[in-house]
Amino acid sequence: MPAIRLRSPVMFSSAFLLLAVAFMAYFDVTVRTDAAAAENRFHKLVELGAPRRAAKHGERAIALFLKEGVSENDVAPLKVAVAETQVSRRRHGRAAVLLKDALTADWGQNLPQAERIEYEDRLARAYLLGGELENAAAIYTTFLELAGDAAALPDDAMVGTYSKLRADKLRDASDAFLRVVNHAEARPLTGATPEHILASASQVADLGGFYGMREGDEYTAAGLLATAYEARKRIRGIDHQDTVQLTLMLGPLYTKMGRLDDAEALYLEAFHAQERAKGANSPDLSLYIKLLAGTYEKQERFTEAQALYEHMRRLFRDAFGALRYAANQDADRREYINRPVSKYFPLEKSYAPEDLVSASEFFVPTAKAPNIDEMKLRLAADPDSDAREENLPVRLAQLISLCRSESDENISLRSGYRSYAMQAILHERNGARGTVTPPGVSEHQTGLAADINVNGRFMRQSDRAFQCFEENAFRFGFILSYPPGNDYLPGENSFEPWHWRYVGIQTAQLYREAGPYNQPQEFLAALPCFQERAASGVFPTAGERDICLDGKPAKLASAPAAQPKRESPSAARILNDW
């Protein structure tokens, strides 16, 4: 009996072990052959915080369900869940396949909009983490287009829910893009054909333009734009306008990052490309001359910069005449088209232009009903000329027509005149975000400012139309009011590629030829000084501080007599537009 008692625990332990082994074998067979059991095991492991172990059970469950004839649509939710566990295993390519399958099924097509955006973002990130820049760019470019104006406005702007959601996803993806692109070395794009590569290059360029407008995302933008630039340069060639276009986006980023040698190389390539395309004597070269000369000045290569400036002046003298500038004889610039408008030069509350006209009457394409005030502009006719032929709206129509032809994009006037009362409403609605100027300091109140739409949303730096405006607007009397790096607006991102101000042809030419680069407000504030010196043939010297910017600009004349009070716009006329 004692021997039996001694053997009993051993026997029971062995029996228990055999039962456990048998159960484990049965469980293993079950989860390997039964789809529901495999799925249950997958979810249990996920709940226990073991996604890497869960992944193989999830994959097995998918395969078993499909083998049993379960539809792709019914398996889609499981594929999405398994994709997340594959990400934890760094199998990003497999995660992307699962997410794409789920989103292309009816299940994915019928998701609520917000959920679908979330899953599309996850798919794009899986592509990025897997090194598939081209596929990620295709998704995020769609986000960019569907975000519309939300992509150009601050993070906290009050815009459509889904537009803002897509814009937020784009902003959050900046770090993920940095894992794939390197600003110091362009990443080669791949594709089945050159056309596919160029399509990807366009998408990557659009995304680079988006990040280039955001403070803190310069490295992401530079990496994307350099990638697009090298692809276009390799396939289209250095002289193609699509290649040159990227110079205007990538060059300023390189300059901001301190990569002056790279900026110089870009501007040289662009200058010679445009020289071959437009002719060595074209004033259109002035933009690229000014960019290159400015880079030389930052490198303290003043002799080379001065040679370029003198070359540009020869081009302007040959094109526009030796006596192209006359000293400003107007003592009162309050009504003058060149008057500055800023916190230092505010407009009176009662100020309203007396020569407002409907832009559509002069064949300017409008984005809104042509009879509302916002679709009006000042006539601003040239003195001693035919007022119906030489004026602001005619020249805007001509500029838009030219750039529509060159870009093949739909360009229209988004916003023209705004009264003091309208600006006050927009500023109050905008709050502390800093993207709408306070009433009295908006150029829109003058009727001389035009916000431009491209394809139904704010003009972007990545639009071909923007390149055309940058190159040609001065010929028609327009300058860019809020260029990159300006501090005119209180908001963090104050670059507005859509906001163009009419100053007249002579003044716009002077700004291009002799004005401080990307300092339009400083130029307009000191305009009489610039005009007087230019009329005397005395232009700034490279490397020396321009004396016109040293002193305080002359104050404008005293306020005019009060004008009749204008009615406040009705609620129906208040436009959510900034």
In the chain, what are the domain boundaries? 184-320, 356-573
Q: What residues does 479 pair with on adjacent strands?
A: 501
Per-residue pLDDT, averaged over 34-40, amounts to: 90
pLDDT of residue 160: 63
pLDDT of residue 557: 43
Q: Which of 237, 226, 316 is nearest to 276 (CA)?
A: 237
Comparison of pLDDT for 332 and 252, the residue scoring more: 252
- Across 75-79, 173-177, 355-359, 484-488, least confident range: 484-488
Q: What is the pLDDT of residues 486-540, one digit of tens each?
A: 888 766 668 899 999 999 999 999 999 999 999 999 999 999 899 988 988 889 8
pLDDT of residue 578: 33
pLDDT-derived band at 342 (thresholds 50, 70, 90) equals confident
Percent of the chain with pLDDT over 90: 69
Percent of the chain with pLDDT over 70: 85
In whole angstroms, how far apart are CA 575 and each of 336, 437, 446? Answer: 28, 15, 18
Per-residue pLDDT, averaged over 122-150, amounts to: 95
Q: Are 184-320 and 356-573 the same fold in CATH?
A: no
Comparison of pLDDT for 20 and 126, the residue scoring more: 126
pLDDT of residue 186: 85
- Across 263-277, 351-365, 487-501, least confident range: 487-501
Comparison of pLDDT for 403 and 33, the residue scoring more: 403
pLDDT of residue 433: 54
Catalytic-labelled residue, pool 496, 513, 532, 544: 496
Per-residue pLDDT, averaged over 365-385, amounts to: 93
Q: Does residue 563 carry a pLDDT above 50?
A: no
Opening angle at CA 426, ends 424 and 428, nearest 5: 65
Query: Where does 42-194 show beta strands of DSSP type E?
Result: none
Q: Based on C-alpha coordinates, what's the Rg of the chain?
A: 31
pLDDT-derived band at 477 (thresholds 50, 70, 90) equals very high
pLDDT-derived band at 161 (thresholds 50, 70, 90) equals confident
Q: What is the pLDDT of residues 176-218, one digit of tens each?
A: 999 899 888 888 999 999 999 999 999 999 999 999 988 889 9
Per-residue pLDDT, averaged over 38-61, amounts to: 92
115 assigned to active site: no
Q: Which of 11-25, 324-338, 483-497, 499-513 has the highest mean pLDDT?
A: 499-513
Identify whether the C-beta of residue 226 lies closer than 8 Å to the C-beta of residue 235.
Answer: no
Q: Does residue 20 carry a pLDDT above 80?
A: no
Average pLDDT for the chain: 87
CA 441/CA 445 separation, integer angstroms: 8
Q: Dig out the tokens for 493 from the structure.
A: 């991102």
Comparison of pLDDT for 98 and 339, the residue scoring more: 98
Question: Is residue 540 helix, strand or coil?
Answer: coil
Written out in words, the top-level CATH class of the domain with range 184-320 is mainly alpha
Identify whether the C-beta of residue 56 lies closer than 8 Å to the C-beta of residue 64.
Answer: no
pLDDT of residue 564: 36
- Across 13-17, 58-62, 285-289, least confident range: 13-17
Q: Does residue 33 carry a pLDDT above 60?
A: yes
Q: What residues does 342 pair with on adjacent strands?
A: 345
Per-residue pLDDT, averaged over 381-389, amounts to: 85
DSSP 41-105: HHHHHHHTT-HHHHHHHHHHHHHHHHHTT--HHHHHHHHHHHHHHHHHTT-HHHHHHHHHHHHHS
CA 233/CA 243 separation, integer angstroms: 6
Q: Does residue 368 carry a pLDDT above 50?
A: yes
Per-residue pLDDT, averaged over 335-348, amounts to: 84
pLDDT of residue 73: 94
Q: Does residue 565 carry a pLDDT above 50?
A: no
Q: Does residue 474 carry a pLDDT above 90?
A: yes
Per-residue pLDDT, averaged over 98-109, amounts to: 96
- Across 66-70, 431-435, 474-478, least confident range: 431-435
CA 514/CA 304 separation, integer angstroms: 16
**CATH architecture type of domain 356-573:** 2-Layer Sandwich (3.30)
